[in-house]
């Protein structure tokens, strides 16, 4: 599976240091998402639960924009479709 970590065919792979930094950023994002999910599930007040969901949605939007910017300029033919 190609998860977007491979560069286009003119380059072999991402620099190991850049890969490490990318993975650490991804890990931070995933931990934040899981933390918010736990808080959403534990919250009993519907208004507070909704506020947490909105916070999580904003985090998801920010990550999506970051991902789109990271992938911009890279050829689509190198990405596998599922």
Q: What is the DSSP letter of 11?
A: S
Report the predicted TM-score, pTM, of the whole model to 2 decimal places.
Answer: 0.64
Quickly count: other Cβ atoms within 10 Å of residue 56's Cβ: 17
Which position has the higher pLDDT, 4 or 44? 44
The residue range of the domain holding 39 is 16-68
Q: What pLDDT sits at residue 68?
A: 83
Count up the domains in the chain and report the number. 1
**Mean pLDDT across 10-16:** 67
First CA to last CA distance, the chain: 9
Would you tell me how many other CB atoms lie within 10 Å of the CB of residue 67? 13
The pLDDT score that the predictor gives to residue 32 is: 96
Whether the pLDDT of residue 2 is over 90: the answer is: no
User: What is the tens place of the pLDDT at every residue in 26-75?
Assistant: 999 999 999 999 999 999 999 999 999 999 999 999 989 888 877 775 54
Tell me, yes or no, whether 6 lies in a domain: no
Q: SS3 string of 40-56?
A: HHHCCCHHHHHHHHHHH
């Amino acid at each position: 599976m190609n998860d977007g970590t491979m560069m286009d065919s003119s380059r072999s792979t991402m620099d190991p240091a850049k890969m490490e930094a990318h993975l650490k950023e991804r890990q931070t994002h995933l931990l934040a998402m899981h933390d918010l999910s736990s808080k959403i599930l534990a919250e009993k007040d519907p208004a507070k639960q909704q506020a947490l969901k909105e916070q999580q949605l904003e985090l998801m939007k920010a990550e999506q924009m970051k991902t789109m910017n990271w992938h911009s300029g890279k050829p689509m033919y190198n990405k596998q479709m599922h």
